[in-house]
């Protein structure tokens, strides 16, 4: 799948940088996805950081033994160090089918690619991702250098946007990924 490559710098929470680095150190693909990408592009404060990876939940738990996994959706949660803030949610690439309750998928299968995972999302403005371009050692060095009071780290990212969500966001258009009649059908 072809898409425009847009490189930029963004600030992410220090703990998120540590999580991403741990995945990189385990040779895993890891991407920031969904609302966090949309909010960052809009210049809004981002509090809800979701990630997707090629790593299975049981392998994520080996990287993060204190994480929790108690759902059928492939989502592993890591408690946020900032009290009262949502945990970081990391989901294995997946594909979905059927929504008999119009909210939760009836069938989930692990996907093989980021593009498969992004294609399952409802709207183009939620089907973008950030790939961290910094090497793991670069992030580790930044984490060691930053002031202990600092809660953020500046990283280089590549915007992955296979469904032209940034253009829709810039133009304030809400568009479905794929056929909207199929995507939003009431069952």
Chain centroid, CA 106 distance in Å: 22
pLDDT of residue 103: 57
pLDDT of residue 187: 40
- Name every residue whose Cβ is closer than 8 Å to that of residue 119 and which is 6 or more positions away in sequence: 95, 127, 162, 163, 177, 178
Binned average pLDDT, 10 residues per bin, the chain of 187 residues: 82 93 95 95 92 95 93 87 87 75 68 91 93 84 71 92 95 87 60
Query: Quick one: 148 exposed, middle or buried, by C-beta within 10 A (0-12, 13-18, 19+)?
Result: exposed
Q: State the CATH number of the domain containing residue 36.
A: 3.30.460.10
pLDDT of residue 1: 65
Q: β-strand 50-53 against 88-92: which pairing, if any?
A: parallel
Handedness of CA 127, 128, 134, 139 (dihedral sign): negative
* Domain span including residue 20: 5-183
| pTM for the full predicted model | 0.86
Domains: count for the chain: 1
Task: Tell me if 32 sits within 8 A of 49, measured CB to CB.
Answer: yes
- The DSSP 8-state label assigned to residue 68 in this structure reads B
Helices and strands, counts by H and E, the chain: 7, 9
pLDDT of residue 111: 85
């Amino acid at each position: 799948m072809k898409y425009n490559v847009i490189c930029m710098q963004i600030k992410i929470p220090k703990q998120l940088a540590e999580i991403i680095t741990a995945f990189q150190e385990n040779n895993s693909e890891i991407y920031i996805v969904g609302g966090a990408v949309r909010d960052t592009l809009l210049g809004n404060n981002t509090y809800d950081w979701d990630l997707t990876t090629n790593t299975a939940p049981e392998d994520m738990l080996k990287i993060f033994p204190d994480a929790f996994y108690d759902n059928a959706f492939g989502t592993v949660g890591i408690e946020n160090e900032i009290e009262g803030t949502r945990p970081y949610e990391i989901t294995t690439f997946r594909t979905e089918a059927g929504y008999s309750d119009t909210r939760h998928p009836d069938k989930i299968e692990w996907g093989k690619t980021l593009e498969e995972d992004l294609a399952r999302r409802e709207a183009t403005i939620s089907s973008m991702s950030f790939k961290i371009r910094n090497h793991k050692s670069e992030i580790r060095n930044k984490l060691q250098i930053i002031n202990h009071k600092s809660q953020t780290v500046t990283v280089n990212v590549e915007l992955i946007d296979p469904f032209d969500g940034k253009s829709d966001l810039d133009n304030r258009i809400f568009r479905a990924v794929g056929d909207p009649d199929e995507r939003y059908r009431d069952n």
